[in-house]
Chains A and B, each alone.
Chain A
Amino acid sequence: MRQPPRNAIAKDAIKVWKITGAIFTGFLLLAAVIIATVSYFNGYTYWFTVIAIMITLLSALLFIFILPKLRWRRWRYEVFEQEIYIQYGILIVSRTLVPMIRVQHVDTKQGPILKGYSLATVTVSTAATTHEIPALLEEDASELRDRISALARVDEDDV
């Protein structure tokens, strides 16, 4: 765990996270508009509106412009024959080791945004934990899934 894992995830992940961030911010904006309208018609203090707008702007800045890039830069993974090694986290950096013989099942999943960029997420589950490698190229993801599943087929000892 001294060296970070070697492989980066797909660069388009940044775009996907930006879109997700934009959608989230869109909801905040909607809430802000509602707050503004309600405050205006009921004559509440304008501070509510100001705070709502501030929160919206801050989240736009964070979730669209700052975090996606940092997150992508941090996200790393490496699949060895015996284990999976992943690193993630912006402020708190986590490095996780998941031995192949502990893997129970592997999934790939793809939401509409990921699909738009031909990306997919690989999820690895043990009996106690679930780990995700987000936003890999579709073919990489399915290849990784098959590979992990094949490697995980090691002689099973009791749970």
Chain B
Amino acid sequence: MSSPRRLHPAAVFFNLIKSLREMIFLFILGFITFREQGFLYFLMVAFFIVILMILFHALAWYRFTYRVEENELRIEYGIFIRRKRYISKNRIQSIDLTAGVIHRIFKLVKVQIETAGSGTEAEGSLSAVTLGEGERLRSELKQRKKSAEEEVEEAEENNDPSFTISFKRLFLAGSTSSSIGIILAFFVVAFSEIEQFIPDEVYSNAIDWVVSLSLILIAAFIVFILIMIWLLGIAGTMIKYGNFTITNRKSELFITRGLLEKKQITIPLNRIQAVGIQESMIRQPLGYAAVFAEVAGGSQEKGEDFSTILFPMIKKTEIAPFLQEILPGYAKLPEVWEPLPKKALKYYLFRSMLPFILLGAAVIWFFPSFIWLAIILFAISFLLGWQRYKDGGFALKGNMLMVKYRVFGKNTMLIYHRRIQAFEKKQHLMHRRENLATMELSIIGKFGAGKHYKLKEMKVSNTDELSDWYSYRGKLNMNKKDNQRGMK
């Protein structure tokens, strides 16, 4: 495939829609301004601009060529300024094929080629090629030259371990997505006999007119809105993660997902920096969690998460078998965690309660009759602080460090020694007196930025133990061995 190729002509259409969408604000502004006078001129100008844009994009399409040559993807583009971009095969980290709704009508895909660079956009982007062409390009640009043996393996793709989300699971994931949090919080407050708590003067004063609208009507309306939010949450999850399938293809993970927009994501195993398990507050009591990975490099796309979801909804008991199949290197969840020392509890409580103490004070000062609200917030923040303390901890297993902590949901991170970029121990005056320390680990995150994990107020002996484990002094060889083991 050394001859230069053009994109599918539909690319003109896609790019046109994209730039029209960017300009829609201008059009609306123009429409409003010229609505009364000179509307005809406005229409003419707008029409002219659209024609110009079509010409521009057609020309851009004509000038945009790509080819694979000498182990490089060579893209040439630009109307007035000719640009050539050569991406070496060896530098390509991932090749993603995405098909939006319109793409799927024409059986087209968008190809995004990413290197380790930290730009906000994919380094190489082909907005529309036919599905066959996209897949051919991908197999051609695959990083490594395959041995015959691997070629065979590739052919028997069905043998690769693979997990697909069931519809029931997906529905459950949607109905417990974050939007339900808002609703739950609302219901808890709303139905705990709220009327008892609302003091009389509120009725008689400023809220009078609201009451006159009939409380029932308003309540019904709010409930309706909340149910809508909830249903939208379900729909959103279904659309995003519909048909979610993850396959372990020896040197890479392959994910396809999406009901309307079909997305194929390839994650080379050696780009995975850490694996995490997140149990959100709603899913945790049900025994469910999401598994995700921190992948280095990559680009920032609209609607893209910071972490790559490896499985959106999984029973906690299924995680170990899942990792065993998909990422055997990470399939060693510990049973025993080193907890935080008792002395740490007061710091955790203080941190989570402080904003609410201030807020509560403000409430008591300005709206003394709403003191019950302050008390509820206070209790919640106390529980949260307590839970954060209980859920903090670490475990060491060979060359892997596992850290668990809670922000709102509970996170468990599995990080290999060689993936940790820097190790930091922090202590302030009170920490030093109480033999406590905060540990911070840094790994490479997406978009070339670092990702940092903190475990606050550990025993100082624990941080020292971990720093000894991390320190490379006099054990460079051991680390080399780890590297090989870690790869497998």
Contacts and interface: CB of A to CB of B under 8 A. Distances in A.
Contacts of B452: 128-129
Given A83-B471, A97-B470, A99-B472, A131 B422 contact: yes
B472 A100 contact: yes
B363 to A, nearest CB: 28
B92 interface: no
Interface stretch (B215-223, B393-401, B427-435): B427-435
A20 to B, nearest CB: 24
B234 interface: no
A118 interface: no
A91 B427 CA distance: 8
Nearest to B445: A128
Categorize the interface residue count of chain A: 20 to 34
A98 interface: yes
Contacts of B449: 128
Interface string B428-444: 11001000000000111
A128 B450 contact: yes
A89 B426 CA distance: 9
Contact of B421 (A2, A89, A91, A129): A129
Nearest to B484: A157
Contacts of B428: 91-93
Nearest to A154: B476
A99 B478 CA distance: 14
Contacts of A157: 418, 483
B450 A94 contact: no
Interface in A87-139: 89, 91-102, 126-129, 131
B464 A126 contact: no
B327 interface: no
Interface in B292-325: 296-297
A100 to B, nearest CB: 7
B442 A92 contact: no
A89 B428 CA distance: 9
B471 A97 contact: yes
Given A1-B467, A83-B472, A96 B423 contact: yes
A39 B291 CA distance: 59
A128 to B, nearest CB: 3
Contacts of A131: 422
Contacts of A37: none
Given A1-B464, A126-B442, A102 B474 contact: no
B422 A128 contact: yes
A94 B449 CA distance: 21
A22 B473 CA distance: 41
B104 interface: no
Nearest to B479: A101
A129 B422 contact: yes
B116 interface: yes
A82 interface: yes
B424 interface: yes
A7 to B, nearest CB: 16
B234 to A, nearest CB: 36
B125 interface: no
Contacts of A154: 476
Nearest to B472: A82
A93 B427 contact: yes
Given A82-B473, A159-B444, A102 B422 contact: yes
A80 interface: yes
Given A93-B432, A128-B450, A1 B425 contact: yes
A82 B476 contact: yes
Contacts of B138: none
A145 B427 CA distance: 28
Contact of A158 (B270, B427, B450): B270
A142 B435 CA distance: 37
Contacts of B271: 158-159
B451 interface: yes
B463 interface: yes
Contacts of A93: 426-428, 432
B416 to A, nearest CB: 11
Contacts of B470: 97, 99
Interface string A145-159: 000000000100111
B429 A91 contact: yes
A89 B429 CA distance: 11
B425 A127 contact: no
A80 B425 CA distance: 18
A96 B483 CA distance: 22
Contact of A128 (B116, B421, B429, B467): B421
Given A92-B427, A159-B444, A126 B422 contact: yes
Interface in B458-483: 463-464, 467-468, 470-476, 479, 483
Contacts of A2: 464
Contacts of A82: 471-476
B185 to A, nearest CB: 34
Given A1-B467, A97-B470, A158-B270, A128 B442 contact: yes
Given A82-B474, A99-B472, A159 B422 contact: no
Nearest to A98: B422
A126 B423 CA distance: 12
Interface of B: 116, 270-271, 296-297, 418, 421-429, 432, 442-445, 448-452, 463-464, 467-468, 470-476, 479, 483
18 contacts: A1-B463, A2-B464, A82-B473, A83-B471, A83-B472, A83-B473, A93-B426, A93-B432, A97-B423, A98-B422, A99-B470, A101-B479, A102-B421, A127-B296, A127-B444, A128-B445, A129-B452, A159-B296
* 7 tightest A-B CB contacts, nearest first: A128-B450, A82-B472, A1-B467, A128-B421, A126-B421, A128-B442, A97-B423
Interface of A: 1-2, 80-83, 89, 91-102, 126-129, 131, 154, 157-159
